[in-house]
Amino acid sequence: MILQTTLSMSAAAGLIALWLAVRTGKARMSAKVWHGDGENPVLLRRMRAQANYGESAPFVLILVAAIEFSGKGGAEHGNWLAIVGGLYMLARIAHGIGMDKPEKSPLRAAGFIISALTLLGLALTAVLIAAGRF
């Protein structure tokens, strides 16, 4: 069984992780800070965007894979899982961009909210599938 949504999301997740790492690296080189954040606010924000991504993306990918493997997220169910996954990836890009601003950012807020709701929704869906209710 090929898990197309999981494969596509994993590829996107890898590219986003690389993008965040490159952005952090550029800030690090620009500030000439080789370890830690050097109390550089731009570097700190980029490091946190990268770390925050690494703290949530694995759980989303695991849940997507489990749901897809159960057969409840494919074409026969309206491809909802692929749509949710795509929105999650866009939200993570928005969050990363929004973290560049020192002040409040609607991109950061929207990215976080969509990411949190995605994680919650996928977790609840997994529980419902496990309980035989979906």
Amino acid at 23: R
- Binned at pLDDT 50, 70 and 90, residue 134 comes out as confident
Summarised one tens digit per residue, pLDDT across range 11-46 is 999 999 999 999 999 999 999 999 998 999 999 999
Q: Which pTM value belongs to this model?
A: 0.92
Domain boundaries, the chain: 4-130
Q: Cα(43)–Cα(97) distance, rounded to whole angstroms?
A: 13
Summarised one tens digit per residue, pLDDT across range 60-91 is 999 999 999 999 886 677 789 999 999 999 99
Amino acid at 15: L
Fold of 4-130: Four Helix Bundle (Hemerythrin (Met), subunit A) (1.20.120)
Q: Cα(134)–Cα(23) distance, rounded to whole angstroms?
A: 40
